[in-house]
Amino acid sequence: MNFKAHVIAEFLKGTIEGDPEVEVHDVSRIEEGRTGTLSFLSNPKYEKYIYNSKSSIFIVSRDFKPKNKLKATLIRVENAYESFATLLALYEQNKPKKSGISSLSSIDQTASLGENIYVGDFSVISPGASIGNHVMIYPQVYVGDQVTIGDGTILYPGVKIYHNCKIGKNCVLHAGVVIGADGFGFAPDAENNFKKVPQVGSVIIEDEVEIGANTTIDRATIGFTIIRKGVKLDNLIMVAHNVEIGENTVIAGQSGIAGSTKIGKDCLLGGQVGLIGHLKIADGVKIAAQSGLSKDVREEGQVLQGSPAFDFTTYQKCYLLFRKLPELRNQINQLEREIKTLNTKFGK
């Protein structure tokens, strides 16, 4: 399938610079551009590649000013990354999709199945489960008793969902995700052994949530662990019991949120961040990678770093001085010597 630059520009509501008739049949990364492919430039770090890339079309932002002349056709748009994503989505939608219910799956008679669903080999749908329309369940998935899966949701191979959990519409759960395992709750008994606190709650995942490979979300002790609409979780994240994550919050890989912590809307957590339990984080808060949060964050939009974390800009200043501690120490010792000299000179 070939597309001409002017067709793409029209679709993206972009403006053309260069030959509107040039054709592409594939996409490529800017640094690996080949003739006949389309690339995009969004991150300025990659601008250097545009001058040697062989891609035939580049999607760039409206205000991009090339430092050298470019042979390729440019399509200028408001947001190059978003427009490129739109094209990829179109490309994906036209791919053939898996369909049908495998005779090698195990579906309980009491489960309710929507229209036009896919169930792969060796997947299990347990008693009382309810599967929405157009749901795709890849092989080796486990859907526990009374679990609900909303319309259009995709469960990739090996996803495991424990009993009673609810997954919303148009969610994507990647391979190895575990939803609804027991929260980590133990109470010491008289002999100081730990006795398990039964975890009788469950998990609610709202619509449009994406969850990365091997991420785990534990069920609540009582009540619900809740992942709100539009949340995006990367791989290998741990969400403990009774946590709540607000709408459209994005969390990068390997972060962990301890029990009962509530994160607001539109927050952004870097990779390997840790939050202790029972915290409350305001909306729009940003936490730098590898930081650890041990206190509530009440002010919206705060940016934090450190372990424990505090204001990002202050952290940067402190860390800069941390790196200069040997110099600071020398400076202090020098002052000490000078004062000693002064004291000697003038007696005490």
Residue from 231, 232, 278, 271 nearest 255 by CA: 271
Stretch of 51-59, 109-117, 128-136, 263-271 lying at the interface with a second copy (CB under 8 A)? 263-271
The answer to whether 12 and 83 are in contact (CB under 8 A) is: yes
Q: Is 252 in the site for a second copy (CB under 8 A)?
A: yes
Q: Is position 230 an interface residue for a second copy (rule: CB under 8 A)?
A: yes
Contacts of 339 (CB under 8 A, 6+ apart): none
Asked if 218 is part of the footprint of a second copy (rule: CB under 8 A), the reply reads yes
> What would the x/- binding string for a second copy be over residues 129 to 168, using CB under 8 A?
---------xxx-x-x-----------xxx-x-x------
- Does residue 63 belong to the site contacting a second copy (CB under 8 A)? no
Handedness of CA 45, 47, 48, 50 (dihedral sign): positive
Work out which of 113, 136, 165, 258 binds a second copy, going by CB under 8 A: 258
- Site residues for a second copy, 9-48, by CB under 8 A, read 27-29, 32, 43, 45
Helices 325-346, 312-323: crossing angle, 10 deg rounding: 60
Residue type, 247: E
Q: Cβ of residue 15: shortest distance to a second copy, in angstroms?
A: 19
Task: Report the residue number, 69 or 174, with the smaller CB distance to a second copy.
Answer: 174
Could you tell me how many residues make up the chain?
A: 348
Q: Buried b / exposed e across 14-36, counting CB within 10 Å, b at 16+?
A: bebbbeeebebeebbebeebeeb
- 3-class DSSP state for residue 18? coil
Q: Please report how close the Cβ of residue 7 comes to a second copy at its closest, in angstroms.
A: 19
Q: Which residues contact 344 (CB under 8 A, 6 or more apart)?
A: none
Shortest spacing between CB 264 and a second copy, in angstroms:
14
Q: From the candidates 25, 163, 174, 241, which is the catalytic residue?
A: 241
181 to 210, contacts with a second copy by CB under 8 A?
181-182, 184-189, 192-198, 200, 208, 210
Residues 281-320 that bind a second copy (CB under 8 A): 289-290, 292, 307-308, 310, 314, 317-319
- Interface residue with a second copy among 65, 67, 69, 345 (CB under 8 A) is 345
Interface with a second copy by CB under 8 A: which range of 6-14, 62-70, 89-97, 128-136?
89-97
Which of 70, 101, 222, 303 lies at the binding interface for a second copy (CB under 8 A)? Answer: 222
Residue 119, beta-bridge partner list: 101, 137
Is 70 an interacting residue with respect to a second copy (CB under 8 A)? no
CB nearer a second copy, residue 21 or residue 143: 143
Query: In terms of Cα–Cα distance, which of 26, 25, 9 is closest to 17?
Result: 9
In this complex, which beta carbon is closest to a second copy, that of residue 132 or of residue 274? 274
Among 85, 112, 295, 298, binds a second copy (CB under 8 A): 85
314 and 296 in contact (C-beta within 8 Å)?
A: no
7 binds a second copy (CB under 8 A): no
Tell me whether residue 241 is one of the annotated catalytic residues: yes
Sheet arrangement for strand 118-119: 100-101, 118-119, 136-137, 154-155, 172-173, 210-211, 232-233, 250-251, 268-269, 286-287, 303-306, 309-311
| CB of 20 or CB of 283, closer to a second copy | 283
Number of continuous H segments (helices) and E segments (strands) in the chain: 5, 40
Which residues are the active-site residues?
Answer: 241
